[in-house]
Each structure stands twice: as C-alpha cells, then as structure tokens.
Amino acid sequence: MVFLGPPGSGKGTQAKKLSQELGLMHISTGDILRDAVKNQTELGKKAKEYMDRGELVPDNLMIALIEEVMPKEGGFILDGFPRTVPQALALEEMLRGYKRDVDKVFLFDLSEEVVVERLSGRLTCSQCGAVYHRKYNPPKQEGVCDLCGGKLIQREDDKEEVVRRRYRVYKEQTSPLVEFYQKKNKLIRLDASQDIQEVNKRLLEVLRDGH
Ligand code: ADP
Ligand code: AMP
C-alpha cells in the first residue's frame, strides 16, 4: 500500500505502527535519503541540496532507489513514494514486472495550518530516526529517544519557511496523484487531523473491512 499526503500528515508515524502490527515492511524514502546524506554516499551528496531547500529529489534518482529496495514478495508500505506522476507510472511498471500491483492508497488529509503546527513541534531521533512531537507524542524524557537513547533534534527542513515550501511542492507536484489513484479506484481518504490512535484504528478498520 501507498501512504500519500502532505509532509507532517502522520504518514511515518502510522507506517511505523502499522508495519509492526501487521508484519509489513516499511519503506520511507525520506528516511533512506536522510541515511544516505548522513553517510555521505553518492546518492546522499546528490540529494542533500534538494532536501535542504524543501524541493523534490529528481525522479530518476528516486526511481532507481525504489528499484533497489523494493521487495519482490511480502506486503509493504510505501511512505513518501510516489510523489510525482512519473514516479507513480514507474512504480506501476516495476510492480507489473513482479506480477504485483498497488493494493490501496491512503490519502492523509490535513490543512496547511495543522501541517505547520505538527512539523514545528516534530522531534526526530538523530540516531534511529524515531519521530516524536513536543505536544502530541512527547518522549518519556525530554530530548532523549525512548527507543535507543539517541539525542532528539529538529530536522533542518522542519523550519517554518521550508515547511511552507514543502507544502507548496506537495500541492503542485504530488497532489495530482490523488486523481491518478482515484481513477484507479484505489484511493481511501483518511481524516489525518484525528489523534494518532484514532487514525491507526481507522486504518485497521479499512484493511479489515475493505472500506
Ligand atoms: P509525515 O511522515 O507525514 O511527514 P510524521 O508521522 O512525521 O509525518 O508526523 C509529523 C508530526 O506530527 C510528528 O511530530 C508526529 O509525532 C506528529 N503526529 C503524527 N500523527 C499525529 C496525530 N494524529 N496527531 C497529532 N500529532 C501527530
Ligand atoms: P520526508 O521525510 O518524506 O518528508 O522527505 C524528506 C525529503 O526527502 C523531501 O522533502 C524530498 O526532498 C525528499 N524526498 C523523499 N521522498 C521523495 C520522493 N519520492 N521524491 C522526491 N523527493 C523525495
């Protein structure tokens, strides 16, 4: 399945939870890119300036990356990919090669103002990438990751000015995928303004009942 929605709409939070609950693989292109930047790989060097500006990394790099990490069997959640129509077309073709298809696309619906509030309070573990929120999902001990003890930081691209640009980029380049998947009858809209437990409950309900 694919998780689609603006930055800060809770895709990563839900993908981590659901992948554990259902034994699915969680593929976050944002996490993979941040690791690549940290380890200064070739991909990381190419991607960094786009990420810092809040722009999308070019399609050819992203498609090559997904080809590399895509599992050939077993269920998985794509979190942050596809983000453009060419990426969605490449994904279709790739899956067709394995005689597979995207099953469901969940749209995390959230307004720009809530996005800005969520991202300005987001804390990310500098070691393991776990995600918290100052108000809505605080760590047990301030500044310290519950899972690995790593230091919690604010992502460079979570500063308000970059967040607003990322939201604009979402509207312009990613939101056409809503219609793309709607036409294929794969889109399921979620009210992402509900709290974390509520959104998780709704996801499980749709997966159980099919609607
Ligand atoms: P995305 O992966 O879509 O960019 P995240 O999962 O990282 O979004 O969530 C963005 C921020 O909002 C994080 O700080 C997270 O803890 C918080 N958050 C996620 N889901 C909710 C929710 N349902 N209600 C309130 N805060 C949330
Ligand atoms: P995220 O963690 O999903 O918010 O992604 C962080 C940044 O990584 C984005 O702002 C983009 O610069 C880049 N990125 C992640 N996924 C993609 C993608 N599918 N296509 C292009 N850029 C991406």
Tell me the C-alpha distance between 44 and 173, whole Å. 22
Taking residues 150-176, what's their average pLDDT?
96
Residue range 74-88: mean pLDDT, rounded: 97
For residue 8, how far is its CA from the centre of ligand 1 (angstroms)? Answer: 5
Domain ranges for the chain: 2-111+161-209
Radius of gyration for the alpha carbons in the chain, expressed in angstroms and rounded: 16
What is the percent of the chain with per-residue pLDDT over 90, rounded to a whole number? 98
119 with 7: CB under 8 angstroms? yes
Query: Mean pLDDT across the chain, nearest whole number?
Result: 96
Tell me the CATH number for domain 2-111+161-209.
Answer: 3.40.50.300
Q: Quick check: 102 pLDDT over 90?
A: yes
Task: Supply the residue whose CA is at minimum distance from atom 13 of ligand 1.
Answer: 122
Residue 34 is a catalytic residue: no
The per-residue pLDDT for 183 is 98
Q: What is the pLDDT of residue 211?
A: 82
CB-neighbour burial class of residue 140 (10 A; exposed 0-12, middle 13-18, buried 19+): exposed
- Give the pLDDT band of residue 31 (cuts 50, 70, 90): very high
Q: Would you place residue 124 in the very low, low, confident or very high pLDDT band (cuts 50, 70, 90)?
A: very high
Mean pLDDT computed over 65-80:
95
pTM for the whole thing? Answer: 0.97
What was the pLDDT predicted at 210?
Answer: 85
Residues 11, 16, 34, 118: which is the catalytic one? 11
DSSP characters over 5-54? --TTSSHHHHHHHHHHHHT-EEEEHHHHHHHHHHTT-HHHHHHHHHHHHT
Mean pLDDT of 55-77: 96
Q: Is 189 a catalytic residue?
A: no
**Cβ pair 107, 188 in contact under 8 A:** yes
List the structure tokens of 127: 């070691």
Residues with CB under 6 A from ligand 2: 7, 29-30, 33, 50-51, 54-57, 62, 80-81, 83, 87, 157, 166
State which H helix or E strand residue 124 sits in.
Answer: strand 122-125
As for ligand 1, residues whose beta carbon falls within 6 Å of it are 5, 7-13, 118, 121-122, 131-133, 136-137, 194-196, 199
Rounded average pLDDT over 88-95: 97
**For residue range 177-186, what is the model confidence (pLDDT) as tens digits?**
999 999 999 9
Indicate if 202 belongs to the active site.
no
Instruction: Look at residue 85 and tell me whether its pLDDT is greater than 90.
Output: yes
